[in-house]
Structure 1
Amino acid sequence: MEKVCGLDVHKDSVFACILDEQGKRILEKRYGTLTPDLTALREALIERGCGSVAMESTSIYWMPVWHVLESDFSLKLVNPYFIKQLPGRKSDVKDAQWIAECLQKDLIKGSFVPEGILQQMRQLSRQCRRITKSRVRLEQQMDNQLQRCNIRFSNYVSNQGNNVSLRKVIEALITGERDPSRLVRPVHGRTKNKHGHQVIAASLEGVINPTDIEMLKGCMEQIDLLEKQQAACLNHLEELAEEYFAREISLLCTIPGIQPYSAMCILSEIGNDMSVFGKASHLVGWAGLRPRNDESAGKIQSRKTLHGNKYLREILIQVSWSASRSKKTFLGKKYAHLSKRMKSQKALLAITRKILVVIFNVLRTEQPFDVNRNLQAVMPD
């Protein structure tokens, strides 16, 4: 056995415990999380000849520690769910010692941590989704402001967020236009033909005060800023994907329901090397799409899925919705079959799991998706 170190990482401190070849403690010390403190931790580990280091995946606090140590040690990032300490023996020092003991006796497996470009792509793809959520929140706030003024035009459009007519109406209101007969002019003809010109004009007549205009103006300015930030973020993501993973993106786009943007998001979360997961079932479990096996005394306690990569699940669910709506693909036919004997949400989750297995096989074999070749790998439930 080699000398190992367990790290209990917190926001403001890192507790380190080093064990020698016989499992005896040779260092127990608390370090800060500033860069000089982490550098001192690295030097202490090098001085004592430590070869492997394990740490819990505590929020984002493990990331700077990982970046400082990754060039000199064999690192393992461990899910805290799998190394819970015994009740009544809980302290930061004991946690670090327990992590070190589990590492030395090879009782834990490291989680997947992407490197280099994939880390950058992951940050960009997640930022795009965060910006989208912020935009939706502002669009809802803007719609509430219009409803407060008794302007009900949003009741007659299908997409409030990206509706061009609604944006033009709000811009006209901000510039001072109040006449419904003029506000109705930028509205798309299909909307006026569907609901009637008089109805649309009546929905644009309301009671507006200067404060309402300031609120709408503030929301529009924030939305414009977020759109610029999202466009820049997406352009950077596309540049990295095109430069380093063009072939993988094209392979993923052969799978039903996957478009270039979703392919980039999926690749940024799972990477292009499937050997780190071993089998498709391991990837499915890591993503949190595999039902748990919780049985006691012959009774099934729970079949709920475990927690996994929520960002990956989110994009895969969207892909599954797209694939399930097509009746020509085997995934659409499978969803129609499953939805007859189970709830639609469960059927969709089953399709999501099958799509992830297809993604694993496409990236592992580096071959485009072929329904005849990949069908056997995804059909069993």
Structure 2
Amino acid sequence: MKRKVNTKGSPTCSSSKAVKVPRLDSLSQINLNAAGLDVGDREIYACVPSGRTEQSVRVFPTFTADLNALAQWLRECQVTTVAMESTGVYWIPIFQILESQGFEVYLVNARYIKNVTGKKTDILDCQWIQQLHTYGLLHKSFRPDEATCVLRALVRHREMLLRYRASHIQHIQKVLQQMNLKLTNVISDVTPSDWTTHYSGYIVRSARPQGISQASRSSLS
């Protein structure tokens, strides 16, 4: 397939076009009191605007007392908004503590930060996040309010317990078959209930269909 050639003899492609990427120094700073966090399992790298303290980058452990110390340091540096990547579940306690202490927290998709071009090789990730947040180039991910988060956690925990319940029921049925207790031939539901708790000893001793049936009828009737 031949490509089209313009009048000057150089090949052209109609489906592509040049994209001009703005330089950070050509943009206006929007969030002057912005900080950037690089969150990990054991350590948090925090960067604040230059000139607020002797060292604009500090490293904090991830224990609760250290997270409160991080919030106190950010407050001393007059930081009002903080940006960080949504890395695993490490961000959750940091997000909750900072938000509860009045900071505007930006939870940003890590893929979006990596796709932004222009990062220099001699700066840390927390410095790059702080720069992007200063120039307003980061968009926060949606996170519901605290009440909704609690309700969502309870619903997810209930769903997990129901999945565990199904596997445990299958395990009970398998063990009963191995012991030659034909409980499933008489009763459709072998899950623990009042009658199984009350008559379990009698059923195990007799292990006969009529005994099982009689015990179940006396409770279920």
Task: Compute the TM-score of the two structures, normalised by the length of structure 2.
Answer: 0.65
Matched residue SS, 1:147: helix
Aligned letter for 1:94? L
Aligned letter for 1:180? P
Work out which of the residue numbers 77, 80, 84 in structure 1 matches 2:114: 84
Residues 1:112 and 2:142 aligned together: yes
Deviation at 1:109, TM superposition (A): 1.4
CA separation of 1:143/1:36 partners in 2, compared to 1, >3 Å: closer, same or farther? Answer: same
2:20 maps to what in 1? none
In 2, Cα distance between the equivalents of 1:105 and 1:117?
32
Deviation at 1:9, TM superposition (A): 1.4
Residues 82 and 104 in structure 2, CA contact (< 8 A), matched pair in contact too? yes
Residues 1:11 and 2:47 aligned together: no
CA separation of 1:168/1:129 partners in 2, compared to 1, >3 Å: closer, same or farther? Answer: closer
Residues 8 and 56 in structure 1, CA contact (< 8 A), matched pair in contact too? yes
Work out which of the residue numbers 57, 71, 75 in structure 2 matches 1:46: 75
2:65 maps to what in 1? 36
- Greater relative contact order (Cα 8 A, min sep 6): structure 1 or 2? 2
CA separation of 1:147/1:67 partners in 2, compared to 1, >3 Å: closer, same or farther? Answer: same
Work out which of the residue numbers 131, 148, 163 in structure 2 matches 1:133: 163
Identity of aligned residues (%): 28
In 1, Cα distance between the equivalents of 2:106 and 2:89?
15
In 2, Cα distance between the equivalents of 1:100 and 1:50?
11
Matched residue SS, 1:112: coil
CA separation of 1:84/1:141 partners in 2, compared to 1, >3 Å: closer, same or farther? Answer: farther
2:211 maps to what in 1? 182
Deviation at 1:186, TM superposition (A): 5.7
Residues 1:122 and 2:152 aligned together: yes
Deviation at 1:178, TM superposition (A): 0.9
Matched residue SS, 1:19: coil
Matched residue SS, 2:56: strand
Residues 1:145 and 2:186 aligned together: no
CA separation of 1:152/1:107 partners in 2, compared to 1, >3 Å: closer, same or farther? Answer: farther
Residues 9 and 55 in structure 1, CA contact (< 8 A), matched pair in contact too? yes
Q: In proportion to residue count, which structure has more helix? A: 1
Aligned letter for 1:117? A
Extract unaligned runs of 5+ from structure 2.
1-28
**Superimposed CA distance per residue, residues 3-61 of structure 1 (whole angstroms, 9 cap, x where no aligned partner):** 3211111222211122359xxx9611110112221122112212222222011222332
Q: Rg larger in 1 or in 2?
A: 2
Extract unaligned runs of 5+ from structure 1.
189-381
Deviation at 1:110, TM superposition (A): 1.0
Residues 182 and 209 in structure 2, CA contact (< 8 A), matched pair in contact too? no
Residues paired across the two proteins, number: 176
2:94 maps to what in 1? 65
In 2, Cα distance between the equivalents of 1:151 and 1:67?
52
CA separation of 1:143/1:44 partners in 2, compared to 1, >3 Å: closer, same or farther? Answer: same
In 2, Cα distance between the equivalents of 1:146 and 1:129?
26
Residues 3 and 20 in structure 1, CA contact (< 8 A), matched pair in contact too? no
Residues 42 and 62 in structure 2, CA contact (< 8 A), matched pair in contact too? yes
Which is worse superposed, 168-177 or 60-69?
168-177
Cα RMSD after superposing both structures: 3.4
In 1, Cα distance between the equivalents of 2:179 and 2:146?
51
Aligned letter for 1:17? C
Aligned letter for 1:69? L
Deviation at 1:181, TM superposition (A): 2.0
CA separation of 1:69/1:140 partners in 2, compared to 1, >3 Å: closer, same or farther? Answer: same
1:103 maps to what in 2? 133
In 2, Cα distance between the equivalents of 1:7 and 1:168?
50
List aligned pairs for 1:178-217, cutoff 5 A: 178-185=207-214
